[in-house]
Chain A
Amino acid sequence: MKGVARQVLPPVILLVALVALWQAAVAAWRIPAFVLPGPAAIGEQFRTYAGPIGSAAAVTGRNAAIGLIVGAVLGILLAVVAALVRSIDVLAEPLVAALSVVPIVALAPVLYSMYGAASEQARVIVAALAVFVPVYVNTLRGLRQVRPVHRDLMRSLAARPAQVARTVTVPTAVPFVFTGLRLASSLAVISAIVAEYFGGPRSGIGSFITTAAAGSNYAQAWAYVLGGIAVGLVFYGATSVAEHLVARRSGP
């Protein structure tokens, strides 16, 4: 417990000190709200709009979660296929390389016109595409990490392909899959929020940030940003917990 306190306490103290400094600076130099509102004003707005921020966070979180799951499942499945079938890997490699340099949120306006302005579908697709790339790349790398000595061992033990996969290939790949998922979980939230900047229904964190900022409600915009940070932290935390649970049983 003492170790935890030593780990957790310093960053919390630093955070509180920075917020206090921020408040003091805003008050001392009378910084106008459109430049930077004080944390007290943002906190006040956050409390006032707790309900709307909560439901906006739920919408964005839902889009990001569906995108994360769909993109991760597709990424893992396709990586498994590419690891098994060499020709698919060769075919997919340039496509994935291309996909990884496309700023995927740039697709949002196109997708809005495809699915209609009232649909959340475009945001889910943007998140899923953003998730797919790191999950696919890391999973495929992980599936290729089986050490030659382990391959020889399994062959000497006359292990069937399914046994090799279960006892060696998958446990070797799992930590790599989670590296991909950790990258992907924050990408999912970022993509879901940024996709909302480009239009679509006024429902998620991103749409309300733009609306509030456009209406000169700067402290309110920041309160929604706070909501976005909360969604990001929840996703990061959930992935870390999942990684911890799985790694204890199968990771190296």
Chain B
Amino acid sequence: MSHAVSAGHDERAAAVVATGVTRVFRDGAREVHALAAVDLRVAAGEFVSLIGPSGCGKSTLLRLIADLDTPTSGTLAVFGRSPREARLARDYGIAFQQAGLLPWRTVRANVELPLALAGVGRGGRRERADELLHLVGLTDFSDHHPDQLSGGMQQRVAIARALAESPSLLLMDEPFGALDEMTREHLQSQLLRIAAETKAAVVFVTHSIPEAAFLSDRVVVMSARPGRIRTAVPVSLDRAVAGAGPDAADELRNAPAFFEAVATVREALRGGHGDALGVDAP
């Protein structure tokens, strides 16, 4: 609570502010420190990836932001409110590693689910679902059931569902983790385009270094047991072109800045020291 958080910024505008967040799981007499004193600030519209070895608490941190779990100590703010208030106000959209679609509903009905729960009328739901399905390129599949779609398509439906209420924060827990490399790169480009179009801040959990470097304004590198933030690597790529097409995205993946970021993140993941590493590290 005594931690100074990026002085000079308007704190209310920040999408996420975590201050000294700790999460301890109790397994009988044993205590597992999933997160230890994590400080993190995600600005509005910023794309931040959380990367680290399994067990580093990156998913735990995401669940805390989403109010699917509560911190043992420390404070969290989502757009200046508590995570609980933010959840009840539906400030964020979330996508999980499993698409988690309701198999008995059509693709359209799955995308409409958040709107239906919020009490949006039939016409409004329909119109918004059409927009979203167009955005993720699944207009022709709106009347299919999830089991008729490939894994990549299901994940796109899940992203459309997360965007249903036009959230200014998108939480994503390894959404492309179970997909093949081709589909993955394709969806990454689409996600960049969507993030640019919606101007939403994104907190993206991943264990893929290239994925984190390609997508993020900033890659937050975490270490395990106890889970803490080791360093944050800023990545400057001209992502505005990434949505233009596969060629533009490939070009971005061949840019020196991209390789540099990949190398820096890899180095940070490997190095056991807590010191911050700059982008100019080898």
- A interface residue numbers (CB < 8 A to B): 147, 149-150, 152-153, 155-159, 163, 167-168, 171, 250-252
6 sampled A-B residue pairs with Cβ under 8 A: A152-B96, A152-B100, A158-B90, A159-B117, A250-B104, A252-B104
B88 touching A158 by the CB < 8 A rule? yes
Contacts of A150 in B (CB 8 A): 100, 102
B107-120 to A contact mask, C-beta < 8 Å, 1/0: 00000011011100
Collect the chain B residues with CB atoms within 8 Å of residue A171's CB: 102, 104
The complex places the Cα of A45 from the Cα of B45 at a distance, in Å, of 84
Q: How far is the CA of A149 from the CA of B100 in the complex (A)?
A: 6
Report if A167-B87 is in contact (Cβ < 8 Å); known contacts: A149-B98, A252-B104.
no
- Min C-beta distance of B120 to chain A, whole Å: 12
The 4 closest A-B pairs by CB, nearest first: A149-B100, A252-B103, A156-B94, A158-B88
Question: CB distance B68 to A158 under 8 Å?
Answer: no
User: Once A and B bind, how many residue pairs between them come within 8 Å at the CB atom?
Assistant: 48
Q: How far is the CA of A55 from the CA of B118 in the complex (A)?
A: 55
Contact A156 B87, beta carbon cutoff 8 Å = yes
Q: Interface residues of B, CB < 8 Å — how many?
A: 21
State the CA gap A250–B103 with chains docked (Å): 9
A153 with B103: CB separation less than 8 A? no
- B49 CB to nearest A CB, Å: 20
Q: Which of B100, B104, B113: most chain A CB closer than 10 A?
A: B104
Complexed CA–CA distance, A149 and B67 (Å): 14
Please indicate the chain B residues that have their CB under 8 angstroms from the CB of A159 in the complex.
117
A251 to B105 Cα, complex, angstroms: 9
| B47 close to chain A: CB less than 8 A | no
**Other-chain residue from B63, B90, B96 in contact with A153 (beta carbon distance below 8 A):** B96
Q: Is chain A's binding surface mostly helix, strand, loop or mixed?
A: helix
Q: Once the chains bind, are A167 and B98 in contact (CB under 8 Å)?
A: no
* A147–B117 touching, CB < 8 Å: no
Q: Which A residues are CB-close (under 8 A) to B66?
A: 152, 156
The reply to whether A157 and B104 form a contact with Cβ atoms under 8 Å apart is: no
Q: Is there a chain A Cβ closer than 8 Å to B92's Cβ? A: yes
With beta carbons under 8 angstroms apart, the residue of B68, B102, B103, B104 that contacts A156 is: B68
CA distance A167 to B161 in the complex (A): 15
Does the CB pair B104–A163 fall under 8 Å? Answer: no
Return chain B residues, CB-CB under 8 Å to A251.
104
Given contacts A153-B94, A158-B87, contact A147 B68 (CB under 8 A): no
Known: A152-B68, A153-B94. Is A147-B100 also a contact (CB below 8 A)?
yes
Contact call A167/B100, Cβ cutoff below 8 A = no
Q: Using Cβ atoms and an 8 Å threshold, which residues of chain B touch A156?
A: 66-68, 87, 92, 94
CB-CB under 8 A from B116, the residues of chain A are 167
Give bound CA distance, A152 to B65, whole Å. Answer: 13
Query: Are B117 and A155 in contact, CB atoms less than 8 angstroms apart?
Result: no
CA–CA, A142 and B63, complex, Å: 27
**A119 to chain B: closest CB distance in Å?**
44
Say yes or no: A163 contacts B87, CB within 8 Å: no
Return chain B residues, CB-CB under 8 Å to A155.
67-68, 87
Find chain B residues with CB under 8 A from A250 CB: 104
**Which B residues touch A168, using CB under 8 A?**
102
Q: Roughly how many angstroms separate A222 CA and B186 CA in the complex, as a whole number? A: 69
Closest to A252 in B: B103
A157 to B66, CA, bound (A): 10
Would you call B102 and A167 a contact (CB within 8 A)? yes
Residue-wise, chain B 154-190 has the 8 Å CB interface mask toward A (1 for contact) of 0000000000000000000000000000000000000
The interface residues of chain A lying within 8 Å CB-to-CB of B117 are: 157-159, 163, 167
User: Most chain-B CB neighbours within 10 Å: which of A156, A163, A167?
Assistant: A156
Residues of A contacting B104 in the complex (Cβ-Cβ under 8 angstroms): 171, 250-252
Question: What residue in chain B is nearest A168 (Cβ atoms)?
Answer: B102
Cβ-closest chain B residue relative to A150: B100
